A = this chain, B = another copy of it.
């Protein structure tokens, strides 16, 4: 999250508390000449589950888009749902400086959304994948069944460089897991970038009759 943090700080100069999720936000009310929102900011809207040994804070991260030379728009960075685990350091007190993050991809969200009761799943990430640091840090998120349709969310971070091995476990109730599944389902299309399509569509598609044909021609492309 370094880059994002730096970016945010450079814009807001905030000593933003690490706990909060940082996401770029644009006002739709004061668009700048180039036609896009100009005033940007950071939005804090985490859903946090406070438990005895750790807190699990959840927030979405939208994809970013870039313009191609041809003027087309393409997803530049895919979106994700960020899980942040912070250790407890007393009653209802958590050390957010020591938090560890795990960003869920669309497909990982798919397996959580469809996770059947009493089933479990596990994801493995290497934050430095495909870089010279590959393998130095290994993260795994395991979701295993808890009584009454709840789940244990356990994040393990092994850093071979710092010789550290951290482990966070947060028991998630069925109600809390349902909040996750419902909000993940809501966010999935946004994370995929499909919201651009839908949010643009109102009114737009009748600007002129485009030659987008139904299946016959769409499929007749060779």
Contacts and interface: CB of A to CB of B under 8 A. Distances in A.
Interface of A: 1-8, 11-16, 18, 20, 22-31, 34-45, 47, 59-78, 80, 82, 98-103, 105-111, 113-114, 125-131, 137, 139, 149, 173-179, 182-183, 185-190, 192-222
A127 to B, nearest CB: 4
Contacts of A1: 217-221
B28 A205 contact: no
A212 B139 contact: no
Given A2-B221, A69-B14, A201 B195 contact: yes
Given A113-B178, A179-B107, A205-B24, A101 B219 contact: yes
12 contacts: A3-B212, A5-B221, A37-B204, A42-B71, A44-B74, A45-B192, A47-B192, A102-B215, A103-B214, A113-B182, A127-B219, A187-B194
A77 B196 CA distance: 20
A195 B202 contact: yes
Contact of A216 (B111, B127, B190): B127
